[in-house]
Amino acid sequence: MKGMGLARLRRLLFVAGLSVFAVVALGSQPDPIRAQAGEPQQVATGSTWQGASFPVENFQDYTSAFGPRGYGDFHYGLDLAAPQGSYIRNWWAGVVVEVIDDGRCGTGLVIQSGPWEHVYCHLEGQVAKANGRNYLIDRAGGLQIWHGQQILAGARIGRVGMSGRTSGPHLHWGLRYSNQWIDPAIVLRAMYGQQRASVSSRTQE
Ligand SMILES: [Zn+2]
C-alpha cells in the first residue's frame, strides 16, 4: 500500500513542481523571509526531515492536491484519504497554537514548529473550553489535545472524521512557512527522499 501511495505522490508532485511559482505569488502579507522566488521549494527541500512523521495512519490516497480547483477556489492543502477513525499523527514536534471549530475546517488543530505551522482539518470530536483554554476532545479516540500543549513528532493528535465541509473522510493537511502557504506534497517528497536515503545507507553498513 505504501508503494502505491508513493507512485501516486510522484504523479502529484510532477504537477506540484509546476506550481511552485504560483505558490510564491500567493502570500497575502508582507514577509521579509519571502524575498526570493523559490523560497518555499528551498525550505522544503533544504530542511532536514529525518524526524518528521507522515500525518495519517491507514493512508489510502491523495484525493485533492494543493492548488486552484476551479470556481475561483484555491485549495490550501493536501487531502489524504483514510478510513474514518484512523489516527492522525503530528508531522513535526511543536506546540498547539489553535484549536479550530468552524464550518469549513470543522474540528481541527494548528501546530507550530518554529517558522512552520501545520493545519489539520475534518477531525473527529468536538472543541470544548475549560479554564479559558480550548481543547479538542475525542472520547472514542481517547484523545484530549489542549491549546498550548507541546506535542512530539509522530504523536497521535486526532482521528480522521467528517467535520466541517467534506464529502468523505479525509485529513486536510495544510502547511505554512512564515505565514506563506506551501504545497505539502513538496515537503513529503523531500521527507521521503531523505528517509529512503537514510534507510539505504543503513542497510549498506
Ligand atoms: Zn482539503
Q: What is the pLDDT of residues 108-148, one digit of tens each?
A: 999 999 999 999 999 999 999 999 999 999 999 999 999 99
Residues 89-104 have a mean pLDDT of: 97
In whole angstroms, give the CA distance from residue 17 to residue 205.
Answer: 34
Name the pLDDT band for 100 (thresholds 50, 70, 90): very high
Q: What is the mean pLDDT of residues 9-33?
A: 38
Judge whether residue 83 has pLDDT over 80: yes
| Domain ranges for the chain | 2-203
Q: How far is the CA of 200 from the centre of ligand 1 (A)?
A: 33
Neighbours of ion ligand 1 (CB under 5 A): 77, 79, 172
Distance 75 CA to ligand 1 centre (A): 6
CB count in 10 Å sphere of residue 24? 17
* Residue 193 pLDDT: 83
Mean pLDDT for the stretch of residues 24-42: 41
**Rounded mean pLDDT, 60-88:** 94
Q: What per-residue confidence (pLDDT) applies to 63?
A: 95
Distance CA 58, CA 89 (A): 11
Q: What is the CATH number of domain 2-203?
A: 2.70.70.10
Which phi and psi (to 5°) does residue 99 adopt?
-110, 115
Q: How far is the CA of 26 from the centre of ligand 1 (A)?
A: 17
**Distance between Cα 205 and ligand 1 center (Å):** 41
- Asked whether residue 156 carries a pLDDT value surpassing 80, the answer given is yes
Q: How far is the CA of 61 from the centre of ligand 1 (A)?
A: 13
> What is residue 21's predicted lDDT score, i.e. its pLDDT?
31
* Cβ pair 143, 128 in contact under 8 A: no
User: What's the confidence (pLDDT) of residue 41?
Assistant: 61
Q: pLDDT value at position 19?
A: 36
Question: How would residue 34 be classed by pLDDT, with cut points 50, 70 and 90?
Answer: very low
pLDDT band at 203 (very low <50, low <70, confident <90, very high): low
CA dist 186 and 174 (Å) reads 12
E strands, 67-132, in order:
67-68, 74-75, 78-81, 87-89, 94-102, 106-113, 116-121, 126-130
